[in-house]
Structure formats: C-alpha cells, structure tokens
Amino acid sequence: MRILFCGDVVGRSGREAILAHIPEIREKLGLDLVVVNAENAAGGFGITARLCQEFYAAGVDVLTLGNHAWAQREIVGYIDQDPKLLRPLNYPDGTPGVGSGLYTTAKGERVLVLQVLGRLFMEPVDDPFAAAERTLANHRLGGSVAAILVDVHAEATSEKMAVGHYLDGRVTLVAGTHTHIPTADAQVLAGGTAYISDVGMCGDYDSVIGMKKEISIKRFLRPLRTEPFSPAEGEASLCAVFVETDPKTGLAKRVAPLRMGGRLAPAWPAMD
C-alpha cells in the first residue's frame, strides 16, 4: 500500500497547493490513501464544511485537525456528520466528533487513522498514550487492518518521539504535526514503524510558521497585540511524507519526505 500524509495546511496558499497537486501526486505515486492535517486551513485557524468538501473532491481521503479544531464555530455542528474529519482522540468524553476512523481503499484494504494531541506546552488534555492504546486494542496491524496511521499533533519533539517508539511495531506510521517545520529524521524504526518528528506545513515559508512575518515580529517586539495573525499569501510548499507498506505485515517498507513548490528544496520519493 502507498500512503501520503500531508502536513498542516495553512490558509489559502496551503489550500491551493493541496487542491492543485494532490491529483497529480496520487497518479504519479499510485497512492492508495491520502491523509491531510487541515487544522489551519480556514484563515490559519480551523476548517469549515465547505473546505472539507473541496479537499475530498481533490482526492484527499481523510482530514485530521489539532488544537485549533474548534476555531471555526460551524465545525462543532458539522463534525459529527463527517466521518472523514478527525479531531484529537484524547479530548474528554462528550467532545463532538471522533478521534479515529476506519477507511477502505479502492482496493478494499482497511486502514485505521487516529490523532492524538500532545500535552507538553499544549492545552490540558487526556493522556495521548492511553488514548492510543485503547483504540489499538481493537485492531491488529496486518490482521484486521492493513495499515494504521497516527498523527501526533504536539509541540515537543521529545513527546512525538516517545509516542513513535511506544507504538513501534504496532502501527504503520507515526507522523508529527503542529510545529510546521519539516524535520530530517524520516526513518523506519527498529520495529518497522515509519516515523517523522514533523511533516512540515503546506503553506508559504516566507513567513513565521505560515503567518505573515511582519505581524509575528511585532508580537515578539511589543507586548500589545493589536493586530491578529494572518496567513502569508505567497506560493506554498507542499510538505508531506510518503510511506510504502509491507502487504503481509502492514509495517513500513520505506518512508521518504515529499516537498514541492514554494521556497523549500524539492524532494520526491525514489520509486522502484
């Protein structure tokens, strides 16, 4: 199975990169599943129902969110109607939506996707390790499901790496999101799980993590916050990670970064 996981989509620039490139990437790489973190898609904060449908129409199979899940108020009433839109799994009981979902590819393979929110330097949430454990107890990689993907939306690389090693050998991919900067540590861990500390963002890198740099600099220089953050509007770099699985075990055969467009150096997975 061939899977693409795209990092945080930031504003219009990031959305346009996804809508423009995902159809051709799916075709060129022969992708079976595309997952996109879209928690910054609507003006830099949250997502709307309309944007969800635009992503699906472009070939995205599953959307994940994060700490800005509820930034757009309309999503509270919408998320229960959209099984392809996932919020963090470790929000308290009674939170709208779900944090994991089972999806079937065009080839009939079942894939489990889940997201957990980190706790270091983030808002108070339930234990991400325990939340993942409860979900994985009902699914066996290479048995009931052909692949398991975990989005760890967290600030600290230490927490992301700990989750990766904790789940090593039991899931296909642990992909870090939230910090918007692509890391160079894409690897297959000892137990066969693909891992990367942060996929990066789909957005304009002539910015401060996707936001207009002038506004961000002012925030650091002055205590008064009179101007709200706004997404940068230049050409976006699409940052993603590609994973190919072993059909027998569901573990990763290989993992590689994919980058295209914008200011970052391009990267494309080497194909056999």
Which is the catalytic residue, given 21, 68, 178, 180?
Answer: 68
User: Concatenated DSSP letters for the chain?
Assistant: -EEEEE-EEBHHHHHHHHHHHHHHHHHHHT-SEEEEE-TBTTTTS---HHHHHHHHHTT--EEE--TTTTSSTHHHHHGGG-TTEE--TTSPTT-SSBSEEEEE-TTS-EEEEEEEE--TTS-----HHHHHHHHHTT--BTTTBSEEEEEEE-S-HHHHHHHHHHHTTT-SEEEEESS----S--EE-TTS-EEES---EEB-SSSBTTB-HHHHHHHHH-S---S---B--SPPBEEEEEEEE-TTT--EEEEEEEEESSSSPPB-----
| 178 catalytic per annotation | no
What would the two tokens of residue 28 be?
């060129």
Q: Which of 181, 48, 95, 15 is nearest to 87 (CA)?
A: 95
Catalytically active residues, by annotation: 68
